[in-house]
Amino acid sequence: MTGTGRYPPIGDQTSAAERAAAVGAWAFPEEARSAFYDVVSARRDIRRFRPDTVPGETLDRVLAAAHAAPSVGHSQP
pTM (whole model) above 0.85: no
Per-block mean pLDDT, blocks of 10 residues, the chain (77 long): 55 74 78 92 88 95 87 70
In a domain, 77, yes or no: no
Print the domain residue range for 30.
14-44
In a domain, 55, yes or no: no
> Using an 8 Å Cβ cutoff, are 22 and 1 in contact?
yes
In a domain, 74, yes or no: no
Q: How many domains does the chain have?
A: 1
If we measure between CA atoms, which residue out of 27, 37, 21 comes closest to residue 6? 27
Q: Given this model, what pLDDT does residue 5 score? A: 58
In a domain, 53, yes or no: no
In a domain, 52, yes or no: no
In a domain, 32, yes or no: yes
